[in-house]
Amino acid sequence: MTTRIVWHPACRLHQAGAGHPERPERIATVLEALRAPELAPYLAWTEAVPADRAALERVHPAPYLDALTALAGRGGGALDPDTYLGARSWEAALASAGVAIGAVDAALARQGTGEGRRGSGGGTAFGATRPPGHHALGARAMGFCFLNNVAVAARHAQHCGCARVLIVDWDVHHGNGTQAIVAADPSVRYVSMHQYPWYPGTGAEDERGVGNVFNVPRPPGLPRAVYVRDLLAAVDAATGGWRPDLLLISAGFDSLAGDPLGGFTLEPEDMAFWTRALRERIGTAPVAAVLEGGYRLDLLAAGVRAVVRALA
């Protein structure tokens, strides 16, 4: 089975400022890792189209998008202490959201071709998104994020006919933006495992939305098997009697042991195990993963390779 890698060269253009951990080398490292010769037989590559206004406005209100466009036109500026829009960052953000949309399109296009088998999942894709997105609220940039890529992807999938979307987020930081965007919508279920208490301070277990939010807040330093077990238990709770039409993964690799922005103990093979286990749980539904965090380049490369191998 071939996994589609969706990317766009403009994702390199975002400059967050000297010394910022969300640096262009991240996406260069991801693409280099995926071009390893041993992966070539299992991957196909697609260059995305930047997201259009209609796709963005399913998540982000027009005045917010207008404000970012205007700020970019003035050469950029700081949106919060961690989030800086550089001269070409808006171009990168539009490309990143387009990559997430393209990953959904690639996964959905493979469904029904006969290539997927129950238990191994339907079509699969990995979106090399940068800048990341899961902290972006509907009308506020924060936490390195301008547009909520996974929420834009979910709304696009629903526009294409997927009635129920499951989002699983294993970034070490809680996806507060994703949760806020979908918390009142029972057609989307959101599962997040994250370090707690930690940035951004949200993601307590009692934050349930309309019963569609399943947070797994955990302290740093636990045995890796505990994290692996507890995320899958939350997915089982979220999908009991509820079969998604699409799985979206907010794939953050800052939850790997040794990342400078987190304290979890996970290894790349744990994320590969999660990926295979999630596919078994959702049957033949397509799967699209999008890149979130991950700030030590060697760990990022190893984690991405492991997840993409498991998708393929």
Q: What is the mean pLDDT of residues 182-200?
A: 98
Q: What is the DSSP letter of 114?
A: S
CATH number of the domain at 200, please: 3.40.800.20
Tell whether the model's pLDDT for residue 119 goes beyond 50.
no
The pLDDT value recorded for residue 115 is 36
For the stretch 29-76, pLDDT in tens is 999 999 999 999 999 999 999 999 999 999 999 999 999 999 999 999
- Annotated active-site positions, please? 135
Q: What is the mean pLDDT of residues 143-150?
A: 98
Give the total number of structural domains in the chain.
Answer: 1
Question: Residue with structure tokens 């299992």?
Answer: 42
Q: What is the mean pLDDT of residues 207-222?
A: 98
CA atoms within 13 A on the CB side of 140: 11
Q: What is the mean pLDDT of residues 89-103?
A: 98
The pLDDT value recorded for residue 113 is 36
The pLDDT value recorded for residue 122 is 75
- Tell me which residue range forms the domain holding 237: 3-311
Quote the CA–CA distance of 134 and 144 in Å, as a whole number.
Answer: 9
Tell whether the model's pLDDT for residue 82 goes beyond 80.
yes
Rg (CA), the chain: 17
Tell whether the model's pLDDT for residue 121 goes beyond 60.
no
β-bridge mates for residue 247, sequence order: 166, 287
Tell whether the model's pLDDT for residue 152 goes beyond 90.
yes
Tell whether the model's pLDDT for residue 266 goes beyond 70.
yes
The pLDDT value recorded for residue 41 is 96
CA-wise closest residue to 301 among 12, 30, 23, 27: 30
The pLDDT value recorded for residue 1 is 77
Quote the CA–CA distance of 49 and 43 in Å, as a whole number.
Answer: 19
Q: What is the mean pLDDT of residues 239-256?
A: 98
- To the nearest whole percent, how much of the chain has pLDDT over 70? 96
Average pLDDT for the chain: 95
Q: What is the mean pLDDT of residues 281-290?
A: 96
Quote the CA–CA distance of 310 and 312 in Å, as a whole number.
Answer: 5
284 contacts 10 by C-beta, under 8 angstroms: no
Tell whether the model's pLDDT for residue 120 goes beyond 90.
no
The pLDDT value recorded for residue 110 is 63
Q: What is the mean pLDDT of residues 15-27?
A: 97
Residue count of the chain: 312
The pLDDT value recorded for residue 184 is 98
Q: What is the mean pLDDT of residues 129-138?
A: 98
**Count of Cβ atoms closer than 10 Å to residue 86 Cβ:** 18
Residue 145 binned pLDDT confidence (cut-offs 50, 70, 90): very high
148 contacts 158 by C-beta, under 8 angstroms: no
